[in-house]
């Protein structure tokens, strides 16, 4: 049963179009879609099925559980896990043909004691200072891993500021690239570019580009943007109530909004339990009848209120757009991110599981 109180619409055609854009833009590099965190809130399984049908042969996720979810739903392409996997679980990766990341001597030592030796990529730390072996140790590390029985298929690094066009940041990205590029690594696959560096093409992308945020039509940053990519997600709801309030009336918890004139207030059955931002209280907007309607009062767990005084004939069941387009107006994930001082990644990742995803544009 679906109450239709709120739902996210995922446009599969736009997703496929974004991947095709990067296939063309980054030729001869191949595209490795990053579908971790449930494809940044968009739905990893449906989107991976679309991508695999397009011919995508490698996916990337953060954790082993995410890779297993793809395998259990019929994804047969290679899958790279970026993050930590407990040593006593690496046999599961081996049994399911899942590629792991080796990134430290301590990790290699613990993995080497296990009977199963899954296929691996080696991560090299060129400046992120998160995971990765040092560049001057990379060749020795790969040799040691191979002698321990691992198939070392690839090597990669990760850029810290590739979404910035600031001169100093561009130079840092180039320095990271040069540290990696000058290594004489005996591996089949090399990959360094994320969405930002793939768009800007300020460095060579090697064999694959790891496209995450931009594959969903979200901009890598306020500084680095492309009109070629199309948003994949819209978030919609419905008007659940309309009432008139009088001067002096206050709205929602904490009485943070007070009416100074007669107003029409519409309730929207979405709240922070759905992943909508409480920080949008008294400063966010939604679209109703194609017009912007400001949030009044605090966003609650399951609903919030908006001012619809300027609209005619707002009624129960009218469509509300939280993210997306309605008429000539739109609200983007980037706009919400700017209002709450975060990034668009977090806006879509926060949309909770109780918000149904509806897939449109292509057959699954």
Say which of 36, 49, 117, 123 is annotated catalytic: 36
Task: Give CA angle at 106 (104, 112), nearest 5°.
Answer: 100
CA quadruple 92, 93, 94, 97: dihedral, nearest 10? 130
Residue 236, judged by CB atoms within 10 A of its CB (0-12, 13-18, 19+), counts as buried
Q: Where are the alpha helices (DSSP H) in the chain?
A: 12-25, 36-40, 44-54, 64-72, 90-95, 105-112, 138-147, 167-181, 195-200, 333-340, 344-349
- Using the Cα atoms of residue 192, residue 203, residue 54 and residue 344 in order, give the sign of their dihedral: positive
List, in order, residues 6 or more apart from 229 with CB less than 8 Å away. Answer: 18, 21, 214, 215, 217, 218, 219
Say which of 188, 201, 243, 253 is annotated catalytic: 253
Instruction: Reply yes or no on whether 253 is catalytic.
Output: yes
Judge whether 295 and 280 are in contact, CB under 8 Å.
yes
Pairing of strands 152-156, 189-193: parallel
Q: Would you state the structure tokens that stand for residue 46, as one six-digit string?
A: 């449906």
Measured between alpha carbons, how far is residue 301 from residues 129, 171, 253, 267, 278 in Å?
A: 37, 45, 11, 13, 8
Instruction: Reply yes or no on whether 36 is catalytic.
Output: yes
Q: Would you state the structure tokens that stand for residue 126, as one six-digit string?
A: 């060129």
Judge whether 147 and 114 are in contact, CB under 8 Å.
no
In angstroms, the CA 329 to CA 322 distance is 12
Q: Which residues are designated catalytic? A: 36, 253
């Amino acid at each position: 049963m679906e109450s239709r109180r709120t739902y996210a619409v995922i446009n599969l055609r736009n997703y496929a179009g974004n991947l095709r854009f990067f296939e063309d833009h980054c030729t001869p590099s191949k595209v490795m879609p990053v579908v971790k965190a449930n494809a940044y809130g968009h739905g990893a399984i449906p989107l991976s099925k679309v991508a695999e049908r397009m011919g995508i042969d490698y996916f990337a996720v953060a954790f082993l559980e995410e890779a297993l979810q793809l395998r259990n739903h019929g994804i047969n392409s290679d899958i790279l896990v970026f993050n930590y996997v407990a040593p006593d679980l690496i046999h599961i990766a081996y049994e399911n043909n899942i590629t792991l990341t080796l990134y430290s001597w301590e990790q290699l030592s613990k993995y080497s004691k296990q009977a199963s030796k899954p296929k691996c990529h080696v991560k090299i730390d060129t400046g992120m200072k998160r995971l990765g072996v040092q560049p001057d140790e990379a060749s020795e590390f790969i040799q040691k891993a191979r002698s321990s029985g691992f198939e070392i298929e690839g090597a990669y690094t990760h850029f810290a500021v590739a979404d910035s066009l600031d001169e100093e940041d561009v130079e840092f990205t180039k320095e990271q690239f040069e540290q990696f590029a000058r290594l004489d690594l005996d591996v089949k696959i090399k990959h360094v570019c994320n969405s930002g560096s793939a768009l800007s093409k300020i460095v060579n992308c090697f064999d694959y580009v790891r496209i995450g945020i931009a594959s969903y039509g979200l901009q890598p940053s306020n500084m680095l943007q492309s009109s070629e990519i199309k948003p994949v997600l819209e978030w919609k709801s419905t008007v659940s109530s309309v009432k008139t309030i009088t001067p002096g009336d206050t709205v929602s918890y904490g009485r943070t909004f007070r009416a100074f004139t007669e107003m029409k207030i519409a309730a929207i059955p979405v709240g922070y339990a759905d992943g909508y931002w409480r920080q949008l209280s008294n400063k966010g907007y939604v679209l109703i009848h194609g017009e912007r309607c400001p949030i009044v009062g605090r966003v609650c767990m399951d609903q919030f209120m908006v001012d619809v005084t300027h609209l005619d004939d707002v009624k129960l069941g009218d469509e509300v757009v939280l993210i997306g387009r309605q008429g000539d107006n739109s609200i983007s994930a980037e706009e919400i991110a700017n209002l709450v001082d975060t990034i668009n990644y977090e806006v879509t990742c926060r949309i909770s599981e109780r918000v149904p995803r509806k897939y449109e544009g292509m057959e699954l």
